[in-house]
Structure 1
């Protein structure tokens, strides 16, 4: 007896042999034809291929320029009015009474808060209290702006708080100095 192993082929019929030979020739030929068509085809425009001046300018412009305005550090500070601050930061909660926030003009809801006094009310608005974040969630607001909005809301509910004055000294300090006149003797 022979120790040789008999391996069986996957091709068992003549029909299978013909299909295997044809596929062995056709598959590489089809791949070569498709590769030639791809290489000789017209140039396709990819992203960043447009080299017009406007397209280049659009690609290289800084991302930070979109919707960003630079503030002059030494420019005099212009405070927002109480109404502007209310619309920007406070109305989201105080217009609808979200999370227990007293609604604008609701005297009953503001009564106990107004009784605490101007200083306490403004302190709570600046530092935050309970569900209300500090400065209504807008840390960029100046304390004076928050005070203006607080007084506006409290006065709409019946308080008689005086509107805080903005510092005129700041405006005078940032204004350019007048040239000195020579003293006549």
Structure 2
């Protein structure tokens, strides 16, 4: 006989043979059981991987225009803001800090020479602008009455006794329709 076909086995003892047979059966069975558990278990997200949740997807695909914008009906009647609302919205940046020489709210010394000029002059300067102050405080959407209200608020906080401006009555719809109708 030739020694060329003589190969040595990795299993040398009966104990190793038993372990090899048991491993040959147990390893595939364990793999099958783990696969079944993996397939039938609920999908769980790892920490920080909630990017595919329905809420996260909805937040990502939400239109950008929905964020912080309110649509206005341009044909609806305008709701006039109070003097305090206008002050917080347009005036506090300068009149709250004294920026660009603006008199601060409640500073009687800075407002005294302006109050002496009278309500009409103060209102005209606030509506049309003067020196560093832009017209209507930089907000062209403000109605003149809204600007006059904030003038009264600021001047009265410094000691003036100006009366709140009256809101002009809206034009009657019938009169507007008659004016728009062509003459016969």
TM-score computed with the length of structure 2 as normaliser? 0.58
Return closer, same or farther for 1:150/1:53 CA change in 2, 3 Å cut-off: closer
Return closer, same or farther for 1:62/1:151 CA change in 2, 3 Å cut-off: same
Runs of 4+ residues over 6 Å off in structure 1: none
Of structures 1 and 2, the one scoring higher in RCO (CA 8 A, sep 6+) is 1
Q: Matches of residues 126-145 of structure 1 in structure 2 within 5 Å?
A: 126-145=127-146
Q: How many residues align?
A: 124
Structure 2: segments with no counterpart, 5+ residues? 1-51, 175-184
Deviation at 1:132, TM superposition (A): 1.1
Q: Matches of residues 15-34 of structure 1 in structure 2 within 5 Å?
A: none
Q: Which residue of 2 aligns with 1:63?
A: 64
Higher helix share: 2
Structure 1: segments with no counterpart, 5+ residues? 1-49, 175-185
1:12-66 deviations in Å (ceiling 9; x for gaps): xxxxxxxxxxxxxxxxxxxxxxxxxxxxxxxxxxxxxx7x7973x6565443222
Deviation at 1:151, TM superposition (A): 0.8
Q: Which residue of 2 aligns with 1:83?
A: 84
Q: Determine if the alignment matches structure 1 residue 164 to structure 2 residue 165.
A: yes
| Residues in 2 aligned to 1:173 and 1:114: alpha-carbon distance in whole angstroms | 39
Return closer, same or farther for 1:63/1:164 CA change in 2, 3 Å cut-off: same
CA RMSD of aligned residues (A): 2.6
State the SS of the aligned residue for 1:169: coil
